[in-house]
Each structure stands twice: as C-alpha cells, then as structure tokens.
Amino acid sequence: MKTEDKVAMLANQLRTKELVARIPILEEELRKALNDEILFRSKNYDYLARSGEDCPAVKEFIADLYAQAQGKNQAERDAWLLKQRKINEPLQKLIIKQREASFVADDYKVKIEIAKRSLDNVIAVLSLRTAQIHFLSGGTDGD
C-alpha cells in the first residue's frame, strides 16, 4: 500500500476525533442514568422488593392483617390472607405500586446497561482505530 493511500485512508475513514468527542457525552449519560436510579430507589425504597418477595410496605400491611386473623388456625389464616390480596383494596393498591416500582427500577437498569455498552463500544472502536493506525503507520510497500 502506498503512503498516499494510507494517508487518505487515515483521513477519510478513521474519524477518531468524533469518537473521542463522544466519550464525555456517553460518560455523562451513564452518570445521569446511575444518579436517576439511585434517586428513584431512595424515594421508593418501601415499594421495591427482591424477586419473589413482597416489598416492605406490603409486608407491613400483611403483618397488620395477620394480627387481625388471630384466633384462626394456620391454614384458615393463610387462606384468609391470600383472599385479602384479592379483595382488600388498600393492599391491592400497594401491590400495584410495588409492581410499578419494580418496572421502573428495571427500566433504569436497562438504561444503565445501554449507556455502559455504548461507552464500551466507542472504546472498542477506538482500540480498533489505534490498531489500524499502528498498521498503516508501518513500513510502506511499493515506495
């Protein structure tokens, strides 16, 4: 490859300045996504649950209901509490809020992952460009 061809390729195809300029933008997007998730989680702590469990607000409400079911045997109490999940309006509202909070928290996780991958992709492309520059700056054939 002739030197002129290498210079033309470097000038026309690598666009490293554009990639380098994107890094602070992508870092800011990642920082914002992380901050937004932290704020959401701190404001909605009582409504966020681990997988397969109820959130603290629902657990507290059920504990109050459990106290109301004293005097029943365990099987009756469990059946009554299960029925309350379907007929007790305040409990249903808490469960809905729990689901909504879980959905939004998952959305934040996706946004963070997208921001991380975008940043990783730019860094990977810059690494490739560095290898291309290193290759093209090597010896010349035909000169």
Residue 29 vs residues 26, 111, 127, 138: alpha-carbon distances, Å:
5, 9, 21, 37
Give CA–CA dist 101/48, Å, rounded.
6
Name the pTM for this structure: 0.74
Residue 12 vs residues 8, 17, 74, 121, 140: alpha-carbon distances, Å:
6, 12, 76, 20, 19
Domain spans in the chain, listed from the N-terminal domain onward: 3-136
pLDDT over 70, % of the chain: 91
Token pair of 12 as six digits: 């026309």
Give CA–CA dist 56/107, Å, rounded.
21
Q: Is the pLDDT of residue 43 over 90?
A: yes
Residue at token pair 């909070």: 101
3 state SS of 15? coil
Q: Is the pLDDT of residue 58 over 80?
A: yes
Q: Is the pLDDT of residue 142 over 50?
A: no
